[in-house]
Structure 1
Amino acid sequence: MANAQQSVEPKAKKIQKELTTHQHTRIDNYFWMNERDSKDVLDYIGEENKVSASFFDQHKKLINGLVKEFDKRINPNEIYPPYETNGVRYQETYAEGDDYMKTYILENGKKKLFIDENVRAKGHSYYALGNWMPSPNNQLVAFCEDFIGRRNYTIRFRNYSENTFLADQLEGTDGTIEWANDNKTVYYLKKDPQTLRSFQVYRHVLGTNQSEDALIYEETDERFEVAVGKSINNKYLFIFISSSTTTEVLLLDADNTSLPYQVFLKREQGHEYSVHAHTDGFYILTNKDAENKKVVFSQTIPASIEACEVIIPHSKDRLLESVEAIHSHLFVEERSNGLEQIRLLNLKTRQSEYIKIDEETYTIGLWETDNYLANTIEYRYNSMTTPTSVFKQDLTTGKKELIFQYELLDKTFHSADYESKRIWATANDGTKIPISLVYKKGTKLSEAPCLLYGYGSYGYTLPDVFSATRLSLLNRGFVYAQAHIRGEKYMGEQWYQEGKFLAKRNTFTDFINAAEYLGMQGYCNPEKLYINGGSAGGLLMGAVVNAAPYLFKGVIADVPFVDVVSTMLDETIPLTVGEYEEWGNPNDEEYYYYMLSYSPYDNVKRMDYPNLFITTGYHDSQVQYWEPLKWIAKIREYRTNKNLLLLDCNMDAGHGGGSGRSTERYEIAKSFAFILSLENIH
């Protein structure tokens, strides 16, 4: 197979480009690939796509078989948990034969069709419903759509009862929208057309032209983006201004749109906070002198955090992740020793109780909550062996009831047939790295192939969740693992700080150590270890492949961020400047050379590479298509073996891949087929 592929491998032309920074010169022979829509670029993408198409055509039977398994396992009339917005109960479903969701209003035991995405997507190769928001009186709905995949949304307005569209149409938005309480005024965000940074807040009054919209706020510091939201008690509209390390919140009166905004707490470098309005005042989640955050209270807009009353003090062992305030309680999502809990803090008694799960690894979190006067809490739970359940708990009596449980169409599935556990690898510096595992009971682990997943950036913690498609790997004897490496917040804020800036290499060495541990301790066959990561997790894939290629039999790198230095030096590329607070600024010599030490593209070398499957989207706004394109071209030039090297560029997709569930399942099946074929498993 590899030999057949080798004979048709494309060979990219080389045009030498000297890139000099800090008196250091790099030679990039594939820099020309950033010439979007040029014939040479499109031709080369076409050649790469032919190679990958040829490979997957040879495994079409396996791919189609996997898709059939998914379809037999997942109900074609898939139903998702109901949720409440603005006092109305909604539920999202799929219908057999449909690629996109339908959303229904649930009322008096009946369903009324609210949005049919299939109708909206008709005639388009890509479609995404970014967001929708009903007016306060539920007479109108604003919804945001993207027909390209670049996350550039158009907002339109529809009358609920008449199912007719208003003439108003807002172009060039980021898909966020909030209503004022007058049912005719909306706030939305515009992106910088070059960098795609959300930087302007506009106010639109229905019935007027977009050109007349008032600019309410513009953020000029390119490290910061803006967002808008509404307090759960509907008193305020929030303008959130945030970078990776710093926050500022502005308040608007939701009842009086003519009033100017108020600054809640002026931005202070390194201070991150969120505001939660209550009848009694404001609850604030803050990291001021509290690395893992604390909750404080102020009856009015405070002069400082120090002037506020501490409600939940800082703990070095407990990370406070989010807060929601209703009339009687604070709901606080926390993480202790890596595991999530929900704290219910009674605001009258100041007593706390916890919703927690007695399992080794799981995911729990608040379900949709926008009812300030609620007397119940709804939360979702699942694990790597258990599909999603949603529970409702009475805040007075503590009585709990199951209100939704996701069921597979395949009645032969039983959670008890699978086992999940958490193990701890040892990093180079002695740090214990948590790894979550799942496999089918009876699997002989020491002989089993393993797929290890990782991310490790932005403080995003991989949730340990159930996957119906993943069962196709587990049922074939695979172990699936997730490494909770530094760069996440699995073990608290410090866990994140130890995996960014000039400590970023910890992320890569942690992952390598996790991979080594799985093999050495007999949790898999070390000769059959596969890895997967996407976006910043694709950077992880590229870095560990360069550092320890001998560990991995195969690698799936989805939309990988691999040309780190060149991208971070080019401020015209979308979203680059805001990333300085995650990776560092390479215009600083120390950061330049540190990034250069791990940048996957810059560190491709003459050596044997594992089998590689790389995906990208031509319209990707987060990681531009040319990064993976340059990467594969350079690996083709430098590698010293003939393992599989495949790139699949979806010409109709962005960062999240193609749209529609059939496309999504087919893409998953291709990734599975890539590693299953290497194991000769069908």
Structure 2
Amino acid sequence: MSELQAPRAAKRPSPRTHHGDTVDDPYAWLRDGDDPEVLAFLKANNAYTEQRTGHLGELRDTIFGEIKSRTKETDLTVPSRKGEWWYYTRTEEGKQYGIHCRLAADGDTPPDLGEGGPLPGEQVLLDENELAEGHEFFSLGAFTTTPDGHLLAYSIDLTGAERFTLRVKDLRTGEHLADEIPDVFYGAAWAGSSLFYTIVDESWRPHQVFRHELGGAEDTLVYQEDDERFWVGVDLSRSEKYLFIEAHSKITSEIRYLAAEDPTGEFAILGAGRRHGIEVSVDHQGDRFLLLHNDGAENFTLGWTPVTDTNQFHTILEHRADTRILDAEAFASHVVVSYRRDGLTGLAVLDFDGTTYGEPVELAFHEPIYTVYTGSNPSYETRQVRLTYASLTTPDSVYDYDLASRELLLRKRKQVLGGFAPADYEQRREWAVAEDGTRVPISLMYRKGLEPDGTAPCLIYGYGSYETSIDPYFAVPRLSLVDRGMVFAIAHIRGGGEMGRHWYDDGKMLHKRNTFTDFVACAEHLVKAGWSAPDKLVARGGSAGGLLMGAVANLAPHRFAGVVADVPFVDALNTILDPSLPLTVIEWEEWGNPLENADVYQYMKSYSPYENVTAVDYPAILAVTSLHDTRVLFHEPAKWIARLREVATGGPFLLKTEMEAGHGGRSGRYDSWKEQAFALAWILDTAGATG
């Protein structure tokens, strides 16, 4: 065990001082991913983890087989109309990645999907399997065609480090142009023969927008964001009339716009520009811009401003205390509003006659808990709205909402093979009570007939940061747990956005502990209500949800049999103290700035998992990370596991590092299923559900 846990004395850094507090970090040497000793540490831990979980090899293979056998491997998405083409992506049995295709459009009804294989007359635009050949990792970033459909711009990442190479393909000839741009970030936007893209700085913050002219030797810097709290993106409106450069911090937005017919012109600032604490999003519709903002409206309000005078604002939807407006998408004859109310998502449609807006028509769904969101809607002139609906028991279902008939037309429901029947499962919503009396929703799924008698194993999942909501969603791998008698629960804790903007505000900055105590309250509720018992309850979360896992393991180790922490943000204080690390300065508006504020420093120190490991029995812990992760660096879980082994009792404490992957783990679908099978087998074993 010494090679897994012993500090390297020669590499131990000098103690640091913050706000009069001396910080000694014996495992800081693990930050250097190029150090042979660090790589040896990671590989030794991988070997140790495999040794401690070797008895689960057969179960892992079985679960992988279950996921594979339940998945229709040769399949395709419902085509979306853009211009004169239907665009879609399909998969083939035995292949890891998607194949992007299009089909000449004939009418407004999507073509028959057949059995999921190639459609007659299709044109293959991009085969990810060919691009990924010979590489351990592959990720597609940008994928956007010119409005006339002649050219495709796409970008690829072959390491997981989220630095992409941008390429251009002529879809008329099938040949690639000589244009190739390295080290770009996600996304790209066309305006005529001009291609706009973003570049990141040394802290992995997208801060520059460039314009590339096809065949040009030198690209033009269009915009640079020097405020380190802000990141930028560039996009073309659905109407294809305007380009937008959006600069965002965690709490502030600024938008610039330019007519797409004049791509070499100067971008203008929309409205009053940057105002601290004011967030804005924009879309274009006819003679106006559609604006969503939170100026004096905690849950946001929707309105419009004339293109000719963006300082005028005309309200369409007033602020509502019970409804958080999430998004508003503009089309030629309607607006689609995405919202959240009572812990559930919703969609509303407003007709638009070119001058005035009709009353919002809310789409009705009848399951007690569900998720609904807009799908691929690239066409501005459409008379149908594509949306996706799912619940814990209903597979992803693609609908078109017909604006004339007000009907929902089911285009496709994800086919789950192997005898799956939704009627064999149940879902429900329950409410825990937090320390301060706040009611916290929990979504549950289990096999029909399971009784809450305290004997069932349970997996409870949580996130709770960035206003990101974990809505009730369907997942094939989860069936391998539930079919073995496990209950699956989602804790909709503060720090997320499930109950509106206040739900987020009450779980960030100096209120962050609410996220952790809410999760513990949800775990306690599941036990009190008979859905599980502490020796059968496993917690799971990833990224910022991994911070949650580390914090609750410190707060209430006796409440859980095991914890799975995926790419976990468990060295939060040290990371947020170091502005040289990727994304740290951006994060100060989420967590606070402990460099300048002693209260923030002490508060973060009180919950940061790495600093708060104590000499008590902890549950079994599995931490999973990736060497090339740029969002949560691999050293965070490595340091955390090392400290757990040094200080705590209980466990075991296992670290598994993907040596060829990034924040999202392995990239191919079969590789991803194998990684899921590894984690699910460990969960079942830890919860005592492998019988």
TM (norm. structure 2) is 0.95
Q: For 2:244, which of 235, 238, 247 is the aligned residue? A: 238
Any idea what SS the aligned residue of 1:402 has?
strand
Q: Which deviates the most, 93-102 or 577-586?
A: 93-102
Deviation track 1:21-74 (CA, whole Å, cap 9, x = no partner) reads: 111112111111112211211111111111112233332111011101111111
Find the aligned partners of 1:676 and 1:269 in 2 and give their Cα distance.
47
Q: Residues 675, 399 of structure 1: CA spacing in aligned structure 2 closer, same or farther, 3 A cutoff? A: closer
Q: Residues 386, 10 of structure 1: CA spacing in aligned structure 2 closer, same or farther, 3 A cutoff? A: same
Residue 117 (structure 1) aligns with: 128
Residue 646 (structure 2) aligns with: 637
Residues 442-461 of structure 1 aligned to structure 2 (within 5 Å) = 442-445=449-452, 446-461=454-469
Q: Residues 258, 24 of structure 1: CA spacing in aligned structure 2 closer, same or farther, 3 A cutoff? A: same
Find the aligned partners of 1:141 and 1:674 in 2 and give their Cα distance.
43
Find the aligned partners of 1:456 and 1:558 in 2 and give their Cα distance.
14
Q: For 2:258, which of 252, 264, 281 is the aligned residue? A: 252
Residues 126-275 of structure 1 aligned to structure 2 (within 5 Å) = 126-180=137-191, 182=192, 184-192=193-201, 194-209=202-217, 212-265=218-271, 266-275=273-282
Residue 70 (structure 1) aligns with: 67
Percentage of matched positions with identical amino acids: 38
Any idea what SS the aligned residue of 2:197 has?
strand
Q: Residues 637, 16 of structure 1: CA spacing in aligned structure 2 closer, same or farther, 3 A cutoff? A: farther
Matched, 1:318 2:323: yes
Matched, 1:668 2:676: yes
Preserved contact between residue 154 and residue 175 of structure 1 (Cα < 8 Å): no
Residue 39 (structure 1) aligns with: 36
Matched, 1:292 2:303: no
Deviation track 1:117-170 (CA, whole Å, cap 9, x = no partner) reads: 110000111111112111121111010100010100000111113221111101
The one-letter amino acid of 2:617's match is D
Find the aligned partners of 2:82 and 2:183 in 1 and give their Cα distance.
26
Q: Residues 286, 469 of structure 1: CA spacing in aligned structure 2 closer, same or farther, 3 A cutoff? A: same
Residues 279-358 of structure 1 aligned to structure 2 (within 5 Å) = 279-300=286-307, 302=309, 304=311, 307-348=312-353, 350-358=358-366
Residue 594 (structure 1) aligns with: 603
Preserved contact between residue 280 and residue 292 of structure 2 (Cα < 8 Å): yes
Matched, 1:27 2:36: no
Unaligned segments of structure 1, at least 5 residues: 1-5
Q: For 2:88, which of 88, 91, 114 is the aligned residue? A: 91
Q: Once the 2 structures are TM-superposed, how far is the Cα of residue 525 of structure 1 from its aligned partner?
A: 2.7
Q: Once the 2 structures are TM-superposed, how far is the Cα of residue 9 of structure 1 from its aligned partner?
A: 5.6
Find the aligned partners of 2:647 and 2:408 in 1 and give their Cα distance.
60
Preserved contact between residue 12 and residue 44 of structure 1 (Cα < 8 Å): no
Q: Once the 2 structures are TM-superposed, how far is the Cα of residue 312 of structure 1 from its aligned partner?
A: 0.2
Unaligned segments of structure 2, at least 5 residues: 112-119
Preserved contact between residue 299 and residue 320 of structure 2 (Cα < 8 Å): yes
Q: Residues 140, 303 of structure 1: CA spacing in aligned structure 2 closer, same or farther, 3 A cutoff? A: closer
Find the aligned partners of 1:534 and 1:281 in 2 and give their Cα distance.
41
Residue 681 (structure 1) aligns with: 690
Find the aligned partners of 1:487 and 1:386 in 2 and give their Cα distance.
27
Preserved contact between residue 520 and residue 526 of structure 1 (Cα < 8 Å): no
Deviation track 1:368-402 (CA, whole Å, cap 9, x = no partner) reads: 11221111112110100000111112212213311
The one-letter amino acid of 1:66's match is I
The one-letter amino acid of 2:350's match is L
Any idea what SS the aligned residue of 1:621 has?
coil
The one-letter amino acid of 2:408's match is K
RMSD (Å) for aligned C-alpha atoms? 1.5
Preserved contact between residue 340 and residue 356 of structure 1 (Cα < 8 Å): no
Any idea what SS the aligned residue of 1:398 has?
coil
Q: Once the 2 structures are TM-superposed, how far is the Cα of residue 82 of structure 1 from its aligned partner?
A: 2.6
Q: Which deviates the most, 530-539 or 36-45?
A: 36-45
Find the aligned partners of 1:539 and 1:78 in 2 and give their Cα distance.
36
Preserved contact between residue 487 and residue 496 of structure 1 (Cα < 8 Å): yes
Q: Once the 2 structures are TM-superposed, how far is the Cα of residue 341 of structure 1 from its aligned partner?
A: 1.3
The one-letter amino acid of 2:264's match is S
Q: For 1:498, which of 485, 503, 506 is the aligned residue? A: 506
Q: Residues 106, 221 of structure 1: CA spacing in aligned structure 2 closer, same or farther, 3 A cutoff? A: same
Deviation track 1:399-439 (CA, whole Å, cap 9, x = no partner) reads: 331111111122x1100110011111001111000000101
Q: For 2:373, which of 355, 365, 369 is the aligned residue? A: 365
Residue 587 (structure 2) aligns with: 579
Preserved contact between residue 8 and residue 29 of structure 2 (Cα < 8 Å): no
